[in-house]
Amino acid sequence: MKHEPAAANAALVERSLRAVWHPCTQMKAHERFPLIPVVEARGCWLTDAGGRRYLDAVSSWWVNLFGHGEPRIVHAVKAQLDRLEHVLLAGFTHEPVIQLSERLGALTGGALGHAFYASDGASATEIALKMSTHYWRNCGRPGKNRFLCLAGGYHGETLGALAVTDVPLFRDAYEPLLRAAATLPSPDWRGAAPGEDAAAVAQRAALALEQHLEAHAASTAAIIVEPLVQCAGGMAMHHPGYLARVRALCDRFEVHFIADEIAVGFGRTGTLFAHEQAGVRPDLLCLSKGITGGFLPLSVVLSSDALYAAFYDDHTARGFLHSHSYTGNPLACAAALAVLDIFRDDHVIAANRARAQAFDALTGPLREDGRVRHFRRSGMIWAFDVAGAPPGFARRYAEAALAEGALIRPLGETVYFMPPYVMEAGEFALLVRAARRALDTALEA
């Protein structure tokens, strides 16, 4: 039978739309917008069933750090598969989870030396929120059980995580199920008043936090923040001075600082962890997404000695109680260990710095485009807003980009690139070209 690329694609699309309920999607929209059946991926490229290739500018939802099929991660997972695929982590342990915990703790300078595992980012948020409240309860202060979050923040979509997420589209339908949290002003520098710079916006946002804590510290357990870049809310970037102020205020008012680095951790903002740029450590650090290089689901919450110590007791009920069947899965831990090896062996943080600068030189056509506002970068994240983006812009833009051979998914009127760290300059140039052309198409009539 002759290979029919279009037919092969169409068959998979039809079966998927009948049986698979896709995430973050109005299924009916696929009557008009294409669903892409991917059969293979290598490096920064995805290949569909019809043999068409797409340049992955979003690291497959921000998880894929070193390209698809990275041989060292493949090897690590295969080798682990031959020894131990999984074992429960209650009452049992294994080398990969021990090593990963030791190495992650060491990467925080020993400040966050206790690792608690789950499989997805939202669960890491839930765990951090539970740990914080339980800590205050164990300290005899059960009234400290409220959370603070930032405008435009995103921490996942399970009910606890959604309660500290400020993205109306994801929240509104589930509002009756959510426990109210206080939402404070974001330090997003785009909110600068005339004459204000990013540092001043950060100070102003910190002042609002201070005023809130002056009134409500007695009922507040923790503040949760996405350090340096609020990603899903539209790649809103802020000055590290904000994080330094959060740390100081959390110390002064006895409130936990939860850093949600699920998206920005593992080098995305130019340092291994984003909070390092403020010269501070959080009390709880949530990590996921890039942790396995995009190979397997894994998340972890790292906690300080002081926090951990409050749970160490003769009574089970004072221990941290959160059960998940696949906690510390050895295959995922093996992938994560391979990722840490790559960071070390390839000097990824330094290499990314050079790469990002070289890529900056290619962004001229976008920077200088009159329709582009707030062109910005943090580490390996580039973003810009589109002036006067009409309703339905994001979907139209994504479709136009696909037609140009690039996977770019705008967040509302914000277009961004979050490429794998192995993208080449030629590929990035192609991306910039596709992004410009998609702008023309998406803004046409």
Stretches 34-42, 150-158, 361-369, 392-400: which one binds ligand PLP (CB under 6 A)?
A: 150-158
Q: Judged by CB under 6 A, does residue 155 bind ligand PLP?
A: yes
**Cα–Cα distance between 318 and 306 in angstroms, integer?**
15
Counting runs of H as helices and runs of E as strands, what totals does the chain give? 15, 16
Q: Which is nearer to ligand PLP, 286 or 372 (CB)?
A: 286
Q: Does 247 bind ligand PLP (CB under 6 A)?
A: no
Identified binder of ligand PLP from the candidate list 56, 120, 126, 166, rule CB under 6 A:
120
Torsional sign, CA 267, 273, 275, 278: negative
121 sits near ligand PLP (criterion: CB under 6 A): yes
Closer residue to ligand PLP (CB): 222 or 366: 222
Nearer to ligand PLP, 108 or 119 (CB): 119
Distances in Å between the alpha carbon of 292 and those of 114, 130, 230, 262, 333? 19, 24, 21, 12, 8
Contact positions with ligand PLP (CB under 6 A) in 158-197: none
Nearer to ligand PLP, 24 or 79 (CB): 24
Among the candidate windows 74-82, 148-156, 347-355, 358-366, which touches ligand PLP by CB under 6 A? 148-156
The phi and psi torsions of 246 (rounded to 5 degrees) equal -60, -45
Indicate whether 301 belongs to the interface with ligand PLP (CB under 6 A): no
* Nearest-angstrom CA–CA distance, 199 and 243: 11
Amino acid identity, position 25: T
122 in contact with ligand PLP (CB under 6 A): yes
297 within 8 A of 120, measured Cβ to Cβ: yes
Q: Which of 67, 96, 152, 156 binds ligand PLP (CB under 6 A)?
A: 156
**Residue 326: how many other CB atoms lie within 10 Å:** 16
Q: How far is the CB of 287 from ligand PLP (least distance, A)?
A: 10
Span near ligand PLP by CB under 6 A; candidates 214-222, 225-233, 320-328, 332-340: 225-233
Given the rule CB under 6 A, which of 259-267, 316-324, 358-366, 415-423 is the region that contacts ligand PLP? 259-267
Helix (H), strand (E), coil (C) string for 287-335: ECHHHHCCCCCCEEEEECHHHHHCCCCCCHHHCCCCCCCCCCCHHHHHH
Sites for ligand PLP among residues 357-416 (CB under 6 A): none
Determine the 3-state secondary structure of 58 from DSSP. coil
Is position 226 an interface residue for ligand PLP (rule: CB under 6 A)? yes
Should residue 428 be labelled a site residue for ligand PLP when binding is judged by CB under 6 A? no
Within its chain, how far is the Cα of 180 from the centroid? 23
Please choose, out of 149-157, 235-243, 337-345, 388-396, the segment that lies near ligand PLP by the rule CB under 6 A: 149-157
CA-only gyration radius of the chain, Å: 22
For residue 41, the cross-strand partners are 46
Give the binding site for ligand PLP (CB under 6 A): 120-122, 125, 154-156, 226, 231-232, 260, 262-263, 288
